[in-house]
Chains A and B, each alone.
Chain A
Amino acid sequence: GEDVEQSLFLSVREGDSSVINCTYTDSSSTYLYWYKQEPGAGLQLLTYIFSNMDMKQDQRLTVLLNKKDKHLSLRIADTQTGDSAIYFCARPDTGFQKLVFGTGTRLLVSP
């Protein structure tokens, strides 16, 4: 199958680290993506990782990939109130014409 699953909700305090998790079923070599959706807006591509990598760091964002467990995570360091949004992980389907999205994790950052 092509299921991509995420936890639904995460609440953190400003300044803490946030970790958003994602699991998937297909294991073909490909990119995996993280998108951010702010209220009332479209999805914004945040970062991505290729499946031959274990980790990718981009400023406050760290993506970790465990290929054996088919587990992807997005860590946001020093989380700010502006990071409050829904975060989606996504991967191409087997035909590489579409992206399969996770259910989305709503991150709430409190001051």
Chain B
Amino acid sequence: SQTIHQWPATLVQPVGSPLSLECTVEGTSNPNLYWYRQAAGRGLQLLFYSVGIGQISSEVPQNLSASRPQDRQFILSSKKLLLSDSGFYLCAWKPGVTYNSPLHFGNGTRLTVT
């Protein structure tokens, strides 16, 4: 069966520090991968998605970047964090070859920028 891992679970970082959040998927090949951010326990904002290694689509201009160095690894980064980067970050995947598939989410990373 497929599983998705996201770490760390919580992170407190000072303003101006770098960020690296990692997400890996097991039990599948060539998945679509996604990074979402959720502010104030409410709506989901799609940040990035990837349909293959090295292929990254950015949904909103921001202080963050994403990379996919391996088929089942998706990394969210920042060179210098802003206070507004605080939030709950969720990684998700779905089978890449199918349409109409639901997304499967990781447990999330709570980022607090101080």
Residues of A within 8 A of B (CB): 30-31, 33, 35, 39-45, 48, 86, 88, 90, 92, 96-99, 101, 103-104
How far, in Å, is A63 (CB) from chain B's closest CB? 14
Hey, which chain B residues are within 8 Å of A33, CB to CB? 102
Q: A86-B41, A98-B34, A98-B49 are in contact. Are A42 and B100 (CB under 8 A)?
A: no
Binary flags per residue of B67-109, CB closer than 8 Å to A gives 1, else 0: 0000000000000000000000010100000011011111110
Contact A43 B90 (CB under 8 A): yes
Contact B32 A97 (CB under 8 A): yes
* Contacts A/B (CB < 8 Å), 15 sampled: A31-B100, A35-B105, A39-B41, A42-B6, A42-B107, A45-B102, A45-B103, A45-B104, A86-B41, A86-B42, A96-B100, A97-B32, A101-B43, A103-B42, A104-B43
How many angstroms between the C-alpha atoms of A97 and B32 in the bound complex? 8
Contact A99 B103 (CB under 8 A): yes
Contact B105 A104 (CB under 8 A): no
Hey, which chain A residues are within 8 Å of B6, CB to CB? 42
**Residues 25-71 of B at the A interface (beta carbon under 8 Å):** 32, 34, 41-44, 46, 49, 51
Contact A41 B32 (CB under 8 A): no
How far, in Å, is A105 (CB) from chain B's closest CB? 10
Contact B99 A96 (CB under 8 A): yes
Beta-carbon nearest neighbor of A29 in chain B? B100
How many angstroms between the C-alpha atoms of A35 and B104 in the bound complex? 10
How many angstroms between the C-alpha atoms of A90 and B46 in the bound complex? 13
B105 CB contact (under 8 Å) in A30, A31, A42, A103: A42
